[in-house]
Amino acid sequence: MRIGIIGASHWHVGIYYLPTLEKMEVEIVGLADPDPSALEQRDPQGKYPHFADYRDLLEQQAPDLVFAHAPHHEMTALAADLVRRRQPFHIEKPAGIDWRELAPVAEAARAQGLFNSVALVNRYMPVVEKLCALRDSGRLGQPVHMYYRLFAGPPGRYRDWGVEWMLDPARGGGPLFNFGAHGIDLFLHLTGQPVVEVACWRTHALHREAIEDLASLRMGGASGALGVVEVGYVLPGAYERYFSLTATKMHVGGQLEAGKILVHEGEPIEYGGVSADESYEVYTRDVVRRASEGRPAKVDLGDMVAALRVLNAGVEAMRTGETVTLPAAV
């Protein structure tokens, strides 16, 4: 399979996607980025063709699949162009900063039957897959409460990585846009119900950046479940991922990593599997496999629209300090 990479400056390209693709039986036909230093950093030996304009990559190399990345505020336009070209693609979350702009792009991709995948990689975590199986078998019961926390180190690393737009709220910077979709998508996916109420709070007390240090978002589901998502750049370094789900027949709680336990009616259940970081390799391999086999993605733009709708409500609630009410359907 011939694969192109758009937006090579995105940190996930160097950390996750390119290393995984290089281990697979695929042909990488080019890297594109307007920043030549990013191309040099990702491919210092010049193993792949470099393109300043991603459109040249698409037109000259005709890849079967592209891994597409861009600053958050440019993502929807990029996705729209890929859909217009009927180019199968993966795109990073959040795929834009306004669900109303992304929704028609998602609908056009769906109408075409065009392969598109969004990196909401928590869907690939073993604990989430286990919970879905328990839910589908009736052993989980009705979800009542979900809590998701993703804390990371200081935001200055984005300056070091050459992506200062991540520190600009107008361009979709900040932990809520960067991490929030993961927790929101989990709530939507595990409860199977739309969000009808959103409240959100923030603090700037730590780093004094234009973006928030920490955001705490509360979601009310249509059938009464409550979800809380807390994300921030508040640790001295590294990451912490904590997740819990309370349902009428089960409670689950612990670090969102491999080899931990589910608590089911007081008895532990081992689930094993991959770590949060390793889930990106699982995701990358699954995307390539599904695209090559002509199967739809596990998570697509339609799922991202649903999560971004809640995220946008969170931004509004964070700005005004008031709860935002959403209609159950759009």
Instruction: Find the domain containing 64 and state its range.
Output: 2-118
For residues 196 and 236, membership in a common domain is answered with yes
On whether residue 253 sits in a domain, the answer given is: yes
Query: Tell me, what's the pLDDT at 208?
Result: 87
The pTM of this model reads: 0.95
- Average pLDDT for the chain: 94
Tell me, what CATH number does 145's domain have?
A: 3.30.360.10
pLDDT digits (tens, 9 = 90+) for 49-96: 999 999 999 999 999 999 999 999 999 999 999 999 999 999 999 999
Query: Tell me, what's the pLDDT at 238?
Result: 85
Which has the closest alpha carbon to 150: 89, 223, 93?
93
For residues 155 and 50, membership in a common domain is answered with no
pLDDT confidence bin for 258, thresholds 50/70/90 = low
pLDDT digits (tens, 9 = 90+) for 121-155: 999 988 898 899 999 999 999 999 999 999 999 99
Tell me, what CATH number does 83's domain have?
A: 3.40.50.720
CA–CA dist 215, 201 (Å, integer): 6
Which has the closest alpha carbon to 90: 77, 102, 79?
79
pLDDT digits (tens, 9 = 90+) for 176-209: 999 999 999 999 999 999 999 999 999 988 888 9
For residues 61 and 128, membership in a common domain is answered with no
For residues 105 and 128, membership in a common domain is answered with no
Q: How many domains does the chain have?
A: 2
On whether residue 295 sits in a domain, the answer given is: no
Query: Tell me, what's the pLDDT at 329?
Result: 62
